[in-house]
């Protein structure tokens, strides 16, 4: 493997984030390569989601820098991050229940007829439908009717739709927040397979999860967060569950 030769896609440097008296992220620095699956683990409230919501533009950091392909960037919305090729799939899937599958996939990234842009651009529904069907079949869910509303779907189907949403624009980095938490064993297998597909297509993936088995199965590197701080970076093929857990709960220092 020529892992180390691969270019870094994004660097986070010295990120801090507070919510009132609570420090969610403390001085976190992190780099992610193309074609790499980076696991992000930690106990509840360790700051995993906050850190990644900063990278996806939903939250603004109190201080720290984000560098995408050697350029400093500042995100004021999820749309800004997406224009830099970064998209996030949320734990609760982030879908709008009353909208159809097709509308959910293209919400905030609508395809518009001709050159007419802006807010009153006319939706190109047939192109959106074509690309939705293609994306759904790529993730193995071609059975989903794109005209059904999201509230009519099962958990696995919703997850598939939110993954398609991130895929249709061909992103460089996908952040997946607990993508396997609510799925059946069979569906988990499908999602892990998809993560591997993304890696071989040279996409960077951040995989946030509580389920260490899934993390160990698919991640190249594993970053451990504890109380907002990055406490360890482990090589996915050399570590094991108990080492990761020890870092998560701080038993490493206790033993030393």
Query: Where do contacts with another protein occur on this chain (CB under 8 A)?
Result: 57-58, 77-79, 81-82, 88, 90, 94-99, 103-104, 107-110, 112, 118-123, 149, 151-152, 165
- What is the rounded distance in angstroms from the CA atom of residue 27 to the CA atom of residue 71? 20
- 148, with CB counted inside 10 A (0-12, 13-18, 19+), is middle
> Nearer Cβ to another protein, position 99 or 231?
99
Shortest distance in whole angstroms from residue 156 CB to another protein: 14
Q: Is 63 in a helix, a strand, or coil?
A: strand
CB of 119 to another protein, least distance (A): 4
Query: Token pair for residue 153?
Result: 């779907």
Q: Which is nearer to another protein, 40 or 81 (CB)?
A: 81
Contact 201, 174 (CB under 8 A): no
Angle at CA 226, nearest 5°, toward 190 and 211?
20
In the complex, what is the shortest distance from the CB of residue 32 to another protein, in angstroms, rounded to a whole number?
A: 20
Tell me whether residue 83 or residue 229 sits nearer to another protein (CB atom).
Answer: 83
Closest distance to another protein from the beta carbon of 28 (Å):
21
Structure tokens of 252?
């490493």
Cβ-based nearer residue to another protein, 21 or 118: 118
The CB-of-99 to another protein minimum distance in angstroms stands at 6
Rounded Cα distance, 31 and 250, in Å: 23
Cβ distance to another protein smaller for residue 96 or 201: 96
């Amino acid at each position: 493997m020529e892992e180390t030769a691969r270019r870094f896609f994004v660097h986070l440097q010295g990120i801090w984030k507070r919510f009132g008296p609570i420090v969610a992220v403390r001085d976190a620095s992190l780099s992610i390569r193309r074609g790499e699956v980076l696991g992000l683990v930690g106990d509840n409230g360790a700051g995993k989601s906050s850190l990644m919501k900063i990278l996806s533009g939903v939250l603004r950091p109190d201080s720290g820098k984000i560098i995408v392909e050697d350029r400093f960037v500042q995100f004021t919305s999820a749309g800004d991050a997406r224009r830099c090729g970064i998209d996030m799939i949320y734990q609760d899937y982030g879908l709008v229940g009353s909208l159809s599958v097709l509308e959910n996939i293209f919400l905030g990234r609508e395809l518009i007829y001709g050159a007419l842009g802006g807010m009153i651009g006319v939706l190109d529904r047939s192109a959106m439908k074509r690309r939705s069907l293609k994306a759904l079949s790529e993730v193995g869910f071609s059975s989903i009717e794109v005209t059904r509303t999201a509230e009519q779907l099962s958990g696995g189907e919703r997850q598939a739709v939110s993954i398609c949403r991130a895929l249709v624009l061909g992103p460089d980095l996908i952040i997946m927040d607990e993508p396997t938490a609510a799925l059946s064993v069979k569906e988990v297998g499908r999602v892990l397979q998809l993560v591997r597909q993304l890696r071989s297509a040279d996409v960077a993936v951040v995989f946030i999860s509580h389920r260490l088995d899934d993390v160990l199965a698919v991640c190249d590197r594993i970053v451990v967060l504890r109380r907002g701080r990055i406490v360890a970076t482990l090589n996915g093929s050399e570590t094991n569950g108990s080492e990761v857990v020890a870092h998560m709960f701080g038993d490493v220092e206790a033993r030393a």
